[in-house]
Amino acid sequence: MKTVLITGGSRGIGKCIAENLAKNGYNVVLNYNKSEKQAKQIQKELMEQGIKIETCKADVSNREEVKKLVKFTLNKFGNIDVLINNAGIAKLQMFNDITDEDWNDMLGTNLNSVFYCIQEVLPNMIHNKSGCVINISSIWGLVGASCEVAYSVSKAGIDGMTKSLAKELGPSNIRVNSIAPGIIDTEMNNNIDNAIKEEIKSETPLNRIGRPIDIYRCVEWLINDEFTTGQIISPNGGYVI
């Protein structure tokens, strides 16, 4: 069975992806950083259903911690078939209010992490002449979000990395794709009030906010596909067309 390393699996979209992959028989390493309790709870609940999942704490904005995370995964399973770069943060602020620290935090967590994780996983994938990298970006990387410049830049950067790397790694049979979700109902959007959510819903052809499972389905499809690389796939209900 394939081995999957997913970053930021303790909550929201990452949690849904990790749980469902584990339920479907994949070897899963669920990375978390601050939400240790949630990560252990996921592991406990799956264990009660007879399903195994490994958890590993690492701040993926830190190269040394990423090295340890990849080493942990290789020690457990000997191999990494699928890397899902999902960990991310978001912050609403006016462009002129962004401090150097805000900027570096955002780019460090959302973009440098993807750079570090792919670089650390690559020797194993190249050795296997096989691999699947899925980067979770965002519609805001495609169209830009007002008051979320740093976030939008980080996600557009991910999509740039996806396209370039797909070209570089295709000959090694490693596929690299982005999933650019629309608005998904997770803690990340707790600060959006209900009136705005209703407005977004009404502007969405499929007339609803996304759910983490919508992203999981896309992940599962990409893992099993064999001829898609360098693509930015955007499950967004038609909000961005």
- Cβ closer to ligand NAP: 51 or 185? 185
Least distance in angstroms from the C-beta of 3 to ligand NAP: 19
Structure tokens at 47: 């264990």
Least distance in angstroms from the C-beta of 38 to ligand NAP: 7
Q: For residue 161, which amino acid is it?
A: M
**Rule CB under 6 A: which residues touch ligand NAP?**
7-8, 10-14, 31-35, 59-61, 86-90, 109, 136, 138, 181, 183-184, 186-189
DSSP state of 210: B
Q: Which residue of the set 26, 151, 216, 239 is catalytic?
A: 151
Closest CA to 5 of 21, 169, 172, 16: 21
Least distance in angstroms from the C-beta of 141 to ligand NAP: 9
- Cβ closer to ligand NAP: 99 or 190? 190
**122 — phi, psi (to 5°)?**
-55, -45
- Cβ closer to ligand NAP: 88 or 131? 88
Least distance in angstroms from the C-beta of 73 to ligand NAP: 14
Contacts of 159 (CB under 8 A, 6+ apart): 135, 137, 141, 142, 178, 180, 232
The C-alpha atoms of residue 180 and residue 201 are separated, in whole angstroms, by 18
- Cβ closer to ligand NAP: 171 or 193? 193
Active site (annotated) includes residue 151: yes
- Cβ closer to ligand NAP: 12 or 131? 12
* Side-chain half-sphere CA neighbours of 209 within 13 A: 15
Least distance in angstroms from the C-beta of 24 to ligand NAP: 19
The C-alpha atoms of residue 87 and residue 10 are separated, in whole angstroms, by 9
62-66 long-range contacts (CB < 8 A, ≥24 apart) are 62/116, 63/116, 66/113, 66/116, 66/117, 66/120
* Side-chain half-sphere CA neighbours of 6 within 13 A: 31
- Active site amino acids: 151
